[in-house]
Structure 1
């Protein structure tokens, strides 16, 4: 595929993304755009049955169908509603769409989403209630896939960053409080995650400060994070690594030294930045810049 372009793909091309037809191939249209490491698909058709294997990517899909069923292998069909679908890497499901249907699907690499939420739910989740952010993302993706304009290198980079940020924000909003979604403890953790994501660039941000922001004791907040096998300090470091990765991947910040990038991302020293990037992304500041230039 020519970089930056949109193409129609066949069933074989769709299978490369872990989506396999099982029945009802007639009148099916599939378009693909790949701005960097994320993959965007627009599917439209009539009654169809197919299996989905999310392989190594997190999946956010916006599905609208007259009637929709889902099942795991060996289980009975379960009727579900249209809406936002979130699936962690490695989930296998069979879907059956009846009547006219359409879907806008985003595949985001596992490592990109790990900086937003430490873990995703073990099974596919469907959210029939639509919120402002996921409606905006759906409109954005469908717009990218509806035209044939070829994106420039700068546009591909910007599109990739926007899609990763929107996907991560949706995960924080929808499943950032898992496990125990909806419980008071989960709501507390969700609020803390939002504070960390917004303020991670402040070098004075500490677990104690996060606890004060969400009106909780530090001990209570630490227990809530421990339930998800995480800690407040680890989450602050993860979000700072995400911010640093964004700065290092943006040519506008090439004038900044590694030490200045570390400071802007909230790290106390370049060494702290290097350790965090190695832990979160298995890379270094110089390698991130060199990769973009290449």
Structure 2
């Protein structure tokens, strides 16, 4: 695994081994945009102190094998299952013998954004299918060359890691797949749309299935708010694409590549969606960021959602 000195400096300050115990060290770190993966190993019993700084991080710790047993808060017993540390808590982790672990660091807001609200995060996570899948994914990533910054691979791997951790949190909290947030059905629908927007195959039928309600009920639910499920999906994909277009790291990607990464079939359908949302075309949006003085005006005609763009397109 590649080593990044800046990342290791931060990690060393974030988790510290007690001075009386030795042999713990960070051995490598790799970054996938906002997500950081690190590896640690130790040669004897050791204790970590997690300082609950308000820096917005949540960290999944995955022990490797029986040797990497831990004790959380001294009262929760020893476990070899993954566990979660995050800002706002102070924790003492006692490893019972020599071993190693992999850690996935991600912004806590990435989890609350998926939930749509602040959530109570479980401490010890389930050692089930999702945990085994996460271990396998991390093993594959550590054995592979990292993607170049700004590529679609880096973006998609970041999303994959965040959503995999989110699924593990839901599974561990005993929450059903549709319970992405507490609140109304309309709010749940929007949470599911945000979660699946980049999947081009996710449509109204998929949303109906995940919500466990009829399509008529779903349409009526959105109509009460002056919206449609199809329009909400389009808007969510436009938001993903707009975020990528606004980030210079993705200037190496073509508009078609950005379109597919945001859940559109191609660049043409992305362009149409931008215009339907009253926004400049993707090409002009990117050009406006590169040249802030260049105007980009869009007018949405009232008849049947037809769009007229000025100037150019």
- Report the TM-score range of the alignment, normalised by the length of the smaller protein: 0.5 to 0.7
How many pairs align?
254
Residue 26 (structure 1) aligns with: 22
Q: Residues 11-50 of structure 1: matches in 2 within 5 Å? A: 13-16=10-13, 18-23=14-19, 25-30=21-26, 31-45=28-42, 46-50=44-48
Residue 279 (structure 1) aligns with: none
TM-score (norm 2): 0.58
CA contact (8 A) 1:8 1:29 kept: no
Q: Which runs of 5+ in 2 are unaligned?
A: 181-187, 222-228, 291-313
Distance 1:10 1:252 in 2: 27
Residue 77 (structure 1) aligns with: 75
Deviation at 1:269, TM superposition (A): 3.9
Distance 1:271 1:11 in 2: 43
Deviation at 1:145, TM superposition (A): 4.8
CA contact (8 A) 2:45 2:96 kept: yes
Residue 153 (structure 1) aligns with: 148
CA contact (8 A) 2:178 2:210 kept: no
Q: Which runs of 5+ in 1 are unaligned?
A: 223-231, 275-284
Residue 106 (structure 1) aligns with: 104
CA contact (8 A) 1:57 1:108 kept: yes
Deviation at 1:116, TM superposition (A): 3.2
Q: 1:104 to 1:120 in 2, by over 3 A?
A: farther
Classify the secondary structure of the residue corresponding to 1:34: strand
**C-alpha offsets along residues 182-234 of structure 1, whole Å, 9 cap, x if unaligned?**
36xx444359666764466679956x983466432648x97xxxxxxxxx999
Residue 58 (structure 1) aligns with: 58
Residue 179 (structure 2) aligns with: 189
Distance 2:81 2:232 in 1: 29
Correspondence 1:166 to 2:160: yes
RMSD: 4.9
Please identify the structure whose Cα radius of gyration is greater. Answer: 2
TM-score (norm 1): 0.61
Residue 294 (structure 2) aligns with: none
